[in-house]
Structure 1
Amino acid sequence: MMSRRIEVIAFDTTYYPFAFASCAFFLCIYKYVSPSLSLRMCEGYRNMPLAKQIDWNTRVNSTLHSAIVSCMCVYSLVYDNEISEDPIWCDAPMVRTSCAILFGYMASDLVVMTVHYKHIGETFYFFHHGASMYAYYYVTTYGVLSYFANYRLMAEFSTAFVNQRWFFDVLRYPKNSPLFIGNGLAMTAAFFLARIAVMPSYWSKVYSVYGTEDFARIGHIQGVLIVTCVILDVMNIFWFYKMCLGVKKVLTILLKLNTPTEESRPAIPVEDKVK
Structure 2
Amino acid sequence: MASLLFTPGFISVFDNASPSKEFRWLASVFCGIIMCKIVYDITATVSFLCFKGYGNLSYAKKVEWNNRGFSTFHAIVVAFSSLYLLLLSDLFKEDYDELIINRTSAVSETILGISLGYFFTDLAMIIWQYPALGGLEYVLHHGLSMYSIILALISGQAQIYILMVLFSECTTPFVNLRWYLDVAGQKNSTLYVFNGIALFLGWLIARVILFIYLFIHMAIYFDQVKQVFPLGFYCLLTVSPVLFAMNSFWFWKIAKGLIKTLSKARHTQ
Query: What is the TM-score of this pair, normalised by structure 1?
Result: 0.84
> Residues 252, 144 of structure 1: CA spacing in aligned structure 2 closer, same or farther, 3 A cutoff?
same
Give a deviation string over 1:37-60, Cα, whole Å, max 9, x none: 211121111111111111101100
- In structure 1, the residue corresponding to 2:243 is in which secondary structure? helix
Q: How does 1:128-147 map to 2 (within 5 A)?
A: 128-147=141-160
Q: How does 1:40-51 map to 2 (within 5 A)?
A: 40-51=49-60
**Which runs of 5 or more structure 2 residues have no equivalent in the other structure?**
1-8
> Residues 217, 163 of structure 1: CA spacing in aligned structure 2 closer, same or farther, 3 A cutoff?
closer
Give a deviation string over 1:237-275, Cα, whole Å, max 9, x none: 0110000001111222233344xxxxxxxxxxxxxxxxx
Query: What is the TM-score of this pair, normalised by structure 2?
Result: 0.86
Q: How does 1:84-95 map to 2 (within 5 A)?
A: 84-85=93-94, 86-95=99-108
Instruction: State the match for 1:27 in structure 2.
Output: 37
The separation in 2 between residues aligned to 1:214 and 1:242, in whole angstroms, is 33
> Residues 119, 249 of structure 1: CA spacing in aligned structure 2 closer, same or farther, 3 A cutoff?
closer
Give the length in aligned residue pairs. Answer: 249
Is the 8 Å Cα contact of residues 79 and 167 (structure 2) preserved in structure 1? yes
Give a deviation string over 1:141-168, Cα, whole Å, max 9, x none: 2211121111111101111111000000
Is the 8 Å Cα contact of residues 92 and 146 (structure 1) preserved in structure 2? no
Q: Indicate which of 223, 228, 235 corresponds to 2:239.
A: 228
The separation in 2 between residues aligned to 1:136 and 1:54, in whole angstroms, is 26
Structure with greater helix percent: 2
- In structure 1, the residue corresponding to 2:185 is in which secondary structure? coil
Q: How does 1:8-27 map to 2 (within 5 A)?
A: 10-11=13-14, 12=17, 13=22, 14-27=24-37
2:264 aligned with 1:248, yes or no? no
Instruction: State the match for 1:66 in structure 2.
Output: 75
Displaced runs of 4 or more, over 4 A = none
Percent of aligned pairs with the same residue? 27
Instruction: State the match for 1:176 in structure 2.
Output: 188
Is the 8 Å Cα contact of residues 91 and 146 (structure 1) preserved in structure 2? yes
The separation in 1 between residues aligned to 2:190 and 2:131, in whole angstroms, is 34
| More displaced stretch, 114-123 vs 137-146 | 114-123
> Residues 214, 161 of structure 1: CA spacing in aligned structure 2 closer, same or farther, 3 A cutoff?
closer
Aligned-pair Cα RMSD in Å: 1.9
2:191 aligned with 1:151, yes or no? no
- In structure 2, the residue corresponding to 1:82 is in which secondary structure? coil
Alpha-carbon offset, residue 34 of structure 1: 2.2
The separation in 1 between residues aligned to 2:85 and 2:182, in whole angstroms, is 34
Alpha-carbon offset, residue 216 of structure 1: 3.0
Code of the aligned partner of 1:78: L
Is the 8 Å Cα contact of residues 218 and 225 (structure 2) preserved in structure 1? no
Alpha-carbon offset, residue 118 of structure 1: 5.6
Q: Indicate which of 243, 248, 259 corresponds to 1:237.
A: 248
